[in-house]
Amino acid sequence: MSKRIKDLVKMSTVAFILIFSNAIAGNLNVEIKKANKGDNYMVNIHNKSEADVVISIVDNADKVIFMESIHYAERFRKVYNLSSLPKGGYSIRVNTAAEQVDEPIVINGINTPHPAIGKNILVGFSELSNDKQIELVIQNKTQKAVSFLIVDEQNRVIKEERFGADHLLKKTVNLSGLQPGNYKIKVSCYENVFFKRIQVI
């Protein structure tokens, strides 16, 4: 197993997050909205720097309750179920090495099923290597298949693949056949979507 794959596998901690409003801090744009009823929430993050993003939920004593890291993704959207948390006030902390966004939240303790069977998905990308390969790690607890797309600047699909509902998938994507230009990788499962922008020279 390569070092990049080992580094990506380390992102195994699963978190549950919630932000009630739009928040912009430099390269971070954070937005949330309700996903169905209860304590299900959809979180959208635009990470223009593609730096590693750490997402935490902290209580009123600033104690970290849950945490996860997102690696090298420019945009990602996830649905989280927070009904397991005790009722009360919390904060969501979204930070890179250079920036941090904190948002106060309130958990109402309304227990409703998660839209994707109460589970989560986590996707990690490596940087594009000199031999034009990207290593991909998908931790998938949704019991649903995962869609993989590469699109060009005109949103034309260049490559499309569908993965099974494996709990852990490690895959090397070879991009050496692509023409020079800008592309986007999109990995999605139900309402959870992860984007990475790449430039092939």
Q: What span, in angstroms and rounded, lies between the C-alpha atoms of 159 and 45?
A: 25
Instruction: Please count the other Cβ atoms lying within 10 Å of the Cβ belonging to residue 115.
Output: 16
Q: How far apart, in Å, do the first and last CA atoms of the chain sit?
A: 27
Say how many CA atoms lie within 13 Å of 150 toward its Cβ. Answer: 16
Side-chain-side CA neighbours of 51 within 13 Å: the count stands at 15
Give the pLDDT confidence of 44-77 residue by residue, as tens digits.
Answer: 888 887 778 888 888 888 988 888 888 777 888 8
Q: What is the DSSP letter of 12?
A: -
Domains of the chain with CATH codes:
3-107 (2.60.40.3080), 121-200 (2.60.40.3080)
What does the pLDDT look like over 84-120, one tens digit per residue?
Answer: 778 888 887 888 888 888 878 778 877 655 444 445 7
Amino acid at 155: N
**pLDDT band at 14; cut points 50, 70, 90:** very low
Could you tell me the strand order of the sheet in which 100-107 lies?
Answer: 64-70, 53-59, 88-95, 100-107
